[in-house]
A and B are shown apart, each in its own frame.
Chain A
């Protein structure tokens, strides 16, 4: 075909447009697969209710009511539970030839994974919103200002994007969807050995040291101090900005390290 020869130099998609196209596909897959939407949401709601009403009575959270303590932690760690689906999705694309097709196309290597990370982060906003609404329904109340709460919500989205790269990396190395899910389970301890469900002060020495300094705790406490405010009686020992800065540094580190590993791995096939 004459056109093929003529347009050959123009046969190249930009980083922006190819990222958008890839993101759109991931997004469409999510909204058109009811299982993904419903199961994720129902699971999250179920666990929130269990923690709120089953464990809640037995846990004391210092100066705050347990529901106020729990909801920010639960919603923040939700990004890890939801991220497991990304790892499985990536492994599937890798395993079943979809990435081969994409890698044979004249598009920037980073576009495929970036598009995926953006779309998966976008779909997480849905779950995040639902959990927030359920949180309010079961008794959570803001202790800080509304703008601070909106900022907290935005931060969770940033953390979610950062953790996406961890899950993408796992998915690329896993080989298939089941292995990816299994490997992602290894991240679950980060949600429990953190300040999400109980105050870290209640943990024995070494565990407390880990819990207090791992990235998820900084992320949770950043959100918590923002939504509960200093008047909310939350006694974490630092101001919101202390946690926000550290949580954002951790996020940047996750993106830099796992983004590099993932893109390199993708490039090699």
Chain B
């Protein structure tokens, strides 16, 4: 079976900026592949290349075996795109928006109506279907936008940061919607800078940084790569963080990480419970108030830090525009 997406050595430059620097990636049929990376890593550029919106300068990029450069028309018939902005018409109802896109996919009026009704149901928008989209909440707009990318029954759905700027409840609803698609046989490529999103949604992840693939695997595999477990200490006073880190470094000679904002110090360790014992002994020698000491599985942000030497933002630093489109 042909891979859903096969990218090999993809390079894209914008003037002097190299957005993709020899990116390799394979997405298989039946999976949700998450492309994870910090801002500016090249996630959006890659999605836009797959969507035939921009043309890679070098390398090869195939979607269901079709070259995006040679056969963009065929590729467009197989994909649905939901970009970072909700690309819907606020002056049209949800139903009208979806029917418009279905018609543009070449469906007859009748089948456009049918597929619209189905997608509205799927997105939980049936009740609001005949209201103008300008009256929708941010979460509903995103759902409508996702619906618009689905209404043409694409074989591959491209989602560029689908939940950025959404409140937690809307995010979870959108995740459910995305998951149900895969059950119906649609392949999904999504980009995200939220680790929990990749963790909960993706069957496989590709971590990219500076336009290159730096790691790939299931969430569990990637977590393993950061060491088997983590000793985490929650310190009461922020001023004591450095001291605790110094002591922890004696446990296995590793470099503990400090998170000032949450007052945490953590250390990746290969061993298990016996190293926790050692750590506790070292910590007892200090006269420092601790709120918690724990041994746990590594989290993806620690994996990311281990891979790139750079923290991945948990929350975007500023709210993005684009909840509404023209």
Contacts and interface: CB of A to CB of B under 8 A. Distances in A.
A93 B326 contact: yes
Contacts of A102: 104
A96 B322 contact: yes
B196 to A, nearest CB: 25
A269 interface: yes
B289 interface: no
Interface residues of A, number: 37
Contacts of A22: 104
B105 A13 contact: yes
Interface stretch (B88-96, B259-267, B292-300): B88-96
B153 interface: yes
Contacts of A104: 51-53, 76, 79-81, 158
A102 B148 CA distance: 11
A10 interface: yes
A261 B91 CA distance: 29
B225 interface: no
B87 A11 contact: no
A22 B100 CA distance: 8
B103 A33 contact: no
Q: Choose among B132, B149, B152, B184 the residue with the greatest number of A CB atoms under 10 Å from its CB.
A: B152
Given A4-B154, A96-B326, A106-B73, A25 B92 contact: yes
Given A12-B106, A105-B152, A1 B87 contact: no
Contacts of A95: 326
B105 A106 contact: yes
B77 interface: yes
A165 B73 CA distance: 25
Interface string B25-54: 000000000000000000000001001111
Main DSSP-derived SS at the A contact region = helix
B277 interface: no
A53 interface: no
Interface string A23-54: 01100110011000000000000000000000
B78 interface: yes
Contact of B153 (A4, A24, A89): A4
A98 B325 contact: yes
What's the interface size class on B, roughly? 35 or more
A231 interface: no
Interface string B102-113: 011110000000
B84 to A, nearest CB: 7
Interface string A82-96: 000000010011011
B106 A106 contact: yes
Interface string B121-160: 0000000000010000000000000001100111100100
Contacts of A25: 89, 92, 100
A29 B53 contact: no
A184 interface: no
Interface in A250-269: 269
14 contacts: A8-B155, A10-B106, A11-B77, A14-B106, A18-B103, A25-B89, A32-B92, A89-B326, A96-B325, A97-B86, A100-B85, A101-B81, A103-B51, A269-B54
Interface of B: 48, 51-54, 73, 76-81, 83-89, 91-92, 96, 100-101, 103-106, 132, 148-149, 152-155, 158, 184-186, 322, 324-326
